[in-house]
Amino acid sequence: MWATLALTIATPVTASAQNALPKLAGFPESVVWQNPPAEWKLDPGDRLTLAAPKKSDWFAWPGGGPQQDAAPRLLFAAASDFVISTKVTTLAHATYDAGCLALYGTATNWAKFCLEAQDDGRLAVVSVVTRELSDDVASFPVEGHSAWLRLAKVDRVIMLYASLNGSDWTIVRKFNLESPSGFRVGFSAQSPNGDGATAIFEHSRYRAERIDLWKLH
């Protein structure tokens, strides 16, 4: 069965995330912050809000140079085969503000799958795969502020999917990423050029098993 992100109490929880962690019922308990957000909130049901601090990015420029690693990430240890999905809403104020699914292997091998603000003012489905340097792809624009994102791993294959309704999925990317000690997966927000951004994650689900990677409905 799907595990659904849910609250175990009846009122919203808000915290300056330095010393606290959201209680994600149904998800693995090994939750950690990598770069805490400016603020987070968990509402009754399954609505997780992350506020990214200003000038917070996670990117390794393809031409080389220092890697940017200030974007907040809430991660948990994933099974060897798994699938995670969420409806992400990005409240953007500047180009590249985004809410993302994050996949972390090592400091130099990782991926993120985002709903990200673009130069034209619209949001787009964007994926970044990093093996020392980042490979950044903008797949298609999204009208409005929300989209559904899904990330699945089976054996050595990782696949990314996007949907506008949470039911009919489009394959966005297929790739391999190695991490001998396994992966952490979870949620991230960023504001590389701006003074902060907000990402809202709803209807988030995680399943620790092999799935049919080609099933789109």
pLDDT digits (tens, 9 = 90+) for 164-175: 999 999 999 999
pLDDT tens digits, 3-43? 333 332 233 445 554 558 887 777 888 899 999 999 999 98
Note the pLDDT of residue 69: 98
Q: How confident is the model at residue 217 (pLDDT cuts 50, 70, 90)?
A: confident
Average pLDDT over residues 49-56: 98
DSSP state of 20: -
Higher pLDDT, 23 or 88: 88
Secondary structure of residue 67 in the 3-state scheme: coil
Q: How far is CA 151 from the centre of its chain?
A: 9
DSSP state of 46: T
pLDDT tens digits, 56-85? 999 999 999 889 999 999 999 999 999 999
Phi and psi, residue 118, nearest 5°:
-110, 175
The bridge status of strand 109-117 relative to strand 39-43 is unpaired
Quick one: which of 79, 4, 91, 105 has its CA closest to 45?
4
Q: How far is CA 97 from the centre of its chain?
A: 13
User: Each residue of 96-131: b (16+ CB within 10 Å) or e?
Assistant: bbbbbbbbbbeeebbbbbbbbbeeeeebbbbbbbbb
DSSP state of 6: B
pLDDT tens digits, 116-136? 999 999 999 999 999 999 999
Domains of the chain: 3-207 (2.60.120.200)
State pTM to two decimals: 0.91
Q: How far is CA 129 from the centre of its chain?
A: 13
Note the pLDDT of residue 19: 56
**Do 111 and 129 meet the contact criterion of CB atoms below 8 Å apart?**
yes
